[in-house]
Amino acid sequence: SATQAAKAATNFVPSRADYQKVYNRIAETLDEAGEYDDGSYGPVLVRLAWHSSGTYDKETGTGGSNYATMRFEPEALHGANNGLNVARGIMEKIKQEFPWISYGDLWTLGGVAAIQEMQGPKIPWRPGRIDGFAKDATPDGRLPDATQGQDHLRKIFYRMGFNDQEIVALSGAHALGRCHTDRSGFEGPWTFSPTTFTHDYFKLLFDEKWVWRKWSGPKQLADKKTGTLMMLPTDYVLIQDKSFKKYAKAYADNQDLFFKDFSAAFARLLELGVPTAQFVSSEPWELKTLDEQKK
């Protein structure tokens, strides 16, 4: 609107209420998906938030959500980011309406809104990311490769500064969404409720019998009973590796524990690469869901 554009033009300092407005606009947009996938843009927005943050390298301090470098080539064209043009396009419309927000704040807030609106836990979040430049873009190969095993998962996530428990908790995001043959080559959803955040991903890992799918696509598993669900090789590793399995079992048995651990790990993921001094608030905020604001 004209008001929001005027705010961008002046030395307007947005308040928590202004960020709640952006949250609300994203939340309303999730359900405007129509026939797209399972009827929600939520899952692909979570994937955008994750891929914009998961490039972080703790040794060099490069990557992470600060500069939103996925806007630039070649990072936009990295194989791991296939299909995220959809998510960036959705976010671009929000950006037009609220030009004062940085892309890094917008994309991470998108992940927060999507998780919370899909019945997930509260994700503490605070603004402060700034827009970077093409020279800040990260090299290919920093995001995980689904065809690989536990050593690869550890190498990738330890580089971001995460431990085994956090690797497992974060992987639980695969309760949401699906794989697309024209994006990753893999196909299908992990759970029967891909637009609701649950611990079903872990329950299904343990409760179903998983068999290698017979098809011409990349190696993936299918549930023997219905053949409609899938697991990536990196998902299956979570119940094969002894250390991962311990956490996966705990999350299968206790959804509250999963929600608590996911929230902490995802909140931390979204802040990777952002200098603490840049944050406008010393403590992250809990933004309200649309439902909570109706009361």
Q: Which residues are catalytic?
A: 51, 190
Which H/E stretch holds residue 212? strand 210-212
Q: How far is the CB of 68 from ligand ZEM (least distance, A)?
A: 17
- Name the DSSP class of 66: S
Which residue(s) pair with 210 in the sheet? Answer: 223
Instruction: Tell me the number of residues near ligand ZEM by CB under 6 A.
Output: 24
Query: What is the DSSP track for 250-281?
Result: HHHH-HHHHHHHHHHHHHHHHTTT--GGG-SS
Counting beta carbons within 10 angstroms of the beta carbon of residue 90, is it exposed (0 to 12), middle (13 to 18) or buried (19 or more)?
A: buried
Is residue 178 within the footprint of ligand ZEM (CB under 6 A)? yes
User: Who contacts 115 (Cβ-Cβ below 8 Å, separation ≥6)?
Assistant: 42, 46, 121, 123, 197, 266
Q: How far is the CB of 111 from ligand ZEM (least distance, A)?
A: 8
Is residue 251 within the footprint of ligand ZEM (CB under 6 A)? no
Answer whether 115's CB lies under 8 Å from 197's CB.
yes
Stretch that binds ligand ZEM, among 65-73, 123-131, 183-191, 240-248 (CB under 6 A): 183-191
Pick between residue 67 and residue 186 the one whose CB is nearest to ligand ZEM: 186
Is residue 171 within the footprint of ligand ZEM (CB under 6 A)? yes
Pick between residue 7 and residue 203 the one whose CB is nearest to ligand ZEM: 203
User: Who contacts 280 (Cβ-Cβ below 8 Å, separation ≥6)?
Assistant: 126, 127, 128
Is residue 183 within the footprint of ligand ZEM (CB under 6 A)? yes
* Nearest residue relative to ligand ZEM (C-beta): 177
Q: How far is the CB of 290 from ligand ZEM (least distance, A)?
A: 20
227: three-class secondary structure by DSSP: coil
Angstrom distance (rounded) from CA 271 to CA 254: 26
Is residue 184 within the footprint of ligand ZEM (CB under 6 A)? yes
Binding to ligand ZEM by CB under 6 A, coded x per residue (else -) over 213-232, reads -------------------x
Which residue(s) pair with 231 in the sheet? Answer: 221
Is residue 70 within the footprint of ligand ZEM (CB under 6 A)? no
Q: Which residue has the tokens 């019998």?
A: 209
Is residue 112 within the footprint of ligand ZEM (CB under 6 A)? no
Stretch that binds ligand ZEM, among 5-13, 19-27, 40-48, 126-134 (CB under 6 A): 40-48
Angstrom distance (rounded) from CA 9 to CA 12: 8
The neighbour count for residue 267, using CB atoms within 10 Å, is 18
Is residue 50 within the footprint of ligand ZEM (CB under 6 A)? yes
Residues making contact with ligand ZEM (CB under 6 A): 43-44, 46-47, 50, 83, 144, 146, 153, 170-171, 173-174, 176-180, 183-184, 186, 232, 234, 266
